[in-house]
Amino acid sequence: MRRPRTVTRRQRLVSRLRLHPAQAVAGGFAAAIAAGTVLLLLPIAKAGPGGATFVEALFTSTSAVCVTGLVVVDTPTYWTPFGHVVILLLMQLGGLGIMIFASLIGLLLARRLSVRSRLYAAAEAKVLGMDDVRGVIRGIVGVSLVIEAVVFVLLTSRFLLGYGYSIGDAAWHGLFHSVSSFNNAGFALYGDSLMRFVADPFICLPIAAAIILGGLGFPVIMQLRKELRHPLHWTMNTKLVLSATAVLLVVGSVYITAIEWNNPDTLGRLDPGARVLAGFFQSVQTRTAGFNSVDIGAMHDETWLGMDVLMFIGGGPAGTAGGIKVTTFAVLFFIMLTELRGEGAVNIFGKRLSRAVHRQAITVVLIAVAAVIAGTGAIMLLAGEDLDRALFETVSAFGTVGLSTGITAALTEPAQIVLVLMMFLGRLGPLTLGSAIALRDRRILYEFPKERPAIG
């Protein structure tokens, strides 16, 4: 007869100290923000006498690690080259950290399945090896560096040949903006962001391409790399991300361009070709990048509202983009469509959607809405801002976008701390919440009788 297993004191201690993956990633990002804050507090990081204030350093570090791009000081003039290098490293660390964590969560989920289910999942995805963690990390780093290198070459060449920069300046500006764009960070080495390049496709289009690729997510990029010519082999995730991204980019471009077409303070002063380019570029930025080639603060209120929606949705999962993610938005859309049709199961691209995903998507959206409402109200109370500007700033922070109507630096310090919390929550909230829900394993041994309340 087998003896019952005894649990030692050491095993109980290890069990208590073992962190949930969501707790581990939150702690890691908090540590990175703290380290960045300390580095930016050093006098060597700030131009001129003295050092940065705690709130300035904390806000900038959080914005860089959470790849947001909101700033309370002028990045090119306030920080020294040392400070710029710190911001660059924090952006790269934040972007890679999110992709690596999200992809490893996918592997962890796969390991919780049965052997047969794991084999089916591996054959279906054809993207990530279910047991090759090192391969996943190498793939993420390799893809990131390749895309950043290509954008770096394009931008450096343009700065060197088109604007007469020295080789050193062209290379530095090309490197900084390639890392910032692929990681959807939105930090720029110009006081006006990229407004001086509003009509230059050789600057705007490479940056836009890097933002889109970073926002697709690593699993989608890897599957496209292997199965580009075989769309029938694509997973539901890949199809949802690509189709939703394309639709939102087109809708956003048309919406922004149409409303701002005759606005003399934004697109109205440009020729038609430049207006289309600027409208497309700003639509791309709502994928959670944060650069601006026109004055966001001079846009119409209707444009802000549309951009609020796009920023809230964000980009693809397991990528550098923020927001609730396009897959969450698409899942809710198909759930609504199924309900309106009176059908039972939710079918997407010839596959039936798991009912567990229904609850996960609804949970993420409701919590995100609650966070945005709370943040907006707090900024209105602490800084006395109007609803439209406070909402735009809050959604931008929660969606880790970095676009601003120009009020960030003028906010009170308590309001800026609210934005710090919103950036941290927006960067880790949907991801950690989704992983916590997906990794939770609680078996219910009984069920209550069903009853249907009135809806609507």
Question: What is the predicted pLDDT for the residue at 128?
Answer: 45
Are 19 and 27 within 8 A, CB to CB? yes
Q: For residue 408, what are the contacts with CB-CB under 8 A and spacing of at least 6?
A: 70, 71, 72, 393, 416, 419
Q: Answer whether residue 171 shows pLDDT above 50.
A: yes
pLDDT interval class at 398 (50, 70, 90):
very high
354-379 pLDDT per residue, tens = 887 888 888 889 989 999 999 999 99
Say which residues have a Cβ less than 8 Å from residue 97's Cβ, sequence separation at least 6. 25, 28, 29, 32
pLDDT in tens, 172-207: 999 999 999 999 999 999 999 999 999 999 999 999
Question: What is each CA distance from 443 to 341, 395, 447, in whole angstroms?
Answer: 33, 36, 11
Averaged pLDDT, 383-408 = 95
What is the pLDDT at residue 181? 96
Residue 75 in this model has a pLDDT that exceeds 70: yes
Q: Read off the pLDDT of residues 159-169 as tens digits, 9 standing for 90 and up.
A: 999 999 999 99
Domain definitions of the chain by residue range: 20-438
User: Kindly report the CA angle at 237 between 231 and 238, in degrees rounded to 5?
Assistant: 35
Helix (H, G, I), strand (E, B) or coil at 46: strand
Residue 278 confidence (pLDDT): 97
pLDDT digits (tens, 9 = 90+) for 128-157: 444 456 677 777 888 889 999 999 999 999
Q: Is pTM beyond 0.85 here?
A: yes
Least confident of 35-39, 70-74, 134-138, 360-364: 134-138
The pLDDT of residue 123 is 38
Residue with the bigger pLDDT between 40 and 229: it is: 40
* pLDDT at residue number 97: 75
Confidence of residue 406 (pLDDT cuts 50, 70, 90): very high
How much is the pLDDT for 430? 62
Tell which wins on pLDDT, 418 or 4.
418
With a cut of 80, say whether residue 300 has pLDDT above it: yes
Radius of gyration of the chain, Cα coordinates, nearest whole angstrom: 23
Beta strands in 27-130 (DSSP E): none
SS3 366: helix
Q: How do beta strands 347-348 and 351-352 pair?
A: antiparallel
* pLDDT at position 428: 79
Average pLDDT over residues 78-99: 90
pLDDT exceeds cutoff 70 at 239? yes
Confidence check: pLDDT of 252 > 90: yes
Question: Out of 42-51, 135-144, 189-198, 320-329, which region has the weakest mean confidence (pLDDT)?
Answer: 135-144
Across 223-232, average pLDDT? 86
Q: How far from chain centre, in Å, is Cα 315?
A: 6
Both tokens assigned to 435: 């992983």
Q: Rounded CA gap, 278 and 199, in Å?
A: 7
* Mean pLDDT (whole number) for 284-302: 94
Buried b (16+ CB within 10 A) or exposed e, 155-176: bbebbbeeeebeeeebbbbbbb
